[in-house]
Amino acid sequence: MAMSGGKDDGSPMMEMNTTPLIDVMLVLLIMFIITIPVATHSVDIDLPVPNPNQPPPPPVKPTVNKVTITRENQVMWNGQPLNNSQLVQNLHTTLTMNPEPELQFEPDSEAGYDMAAKTLQVIKASKVTKFGFVHNELYYQFDKSPNAPAAK
């Protein structure tokens, strides 16, 4: 706190010391800010009461479609061979279903990378939203040589 000592000639100080007044005002301001209730934005909703006599609805089991690529670079849809245009047609058909079926992608370990990349490009272009890779653990190779880094 800054204090003014007056003049050197010994005359009384004519200005009011406002430092304690400002300190008190700041303390009061902080007290008012702390005591203001927190504004809550809520919407009250009356939820329906569950009926214990009514059985629960059965869980939805969406259809799962599997796209595989064989060693001979043949694209398969649920075990049936198809060409590129048939794959596009099947993908567009699944997009119209409600709920959209899950699409699983599983290339054979001996399948060509180019064919897998082209098939993934077709799947991406179709804008399928439920997509997953399956059996990735089959492709994990653990090097047992003494100089290999430890597996995580």
Residue 90 maps to a domain: yes
Residue 81 maps to a domain: yes
Residue 113 maps to a domain: yes
Residue 45 maps to a domain: no
Residue with tokens 């899950």: 102
Residue 117 maps to a domain: yes
Residue 134 maps to a domain: yes
Residue span of the structural domain in which 116 resides: 64-139
Say which CATH number the domain at 82 has: 3.30.420
Rounded Cα distance between 132 and 121, Å, is 14
pLDDT (tens place) for every residue of the chain, 152 residues total: 455 555 677 777 778 888 999 999 999 999 988 888 777 766 677 777 877 887 776 665 578 899 999 999 999 998 889 888 889 988 988 888 888 889 999 998 888 888 989 999 999 999 888 888 888 777 666 555 566 555 54
Q: How many domains does the chain have?
A: 1
Residue 102 maps to a domain: yes
Strand segments (E) across 11-120: 64-69, 75-77, 80-81, 102-107
pTM of the predicted model over 0.85: no
Residue 56 maps to a domain: no
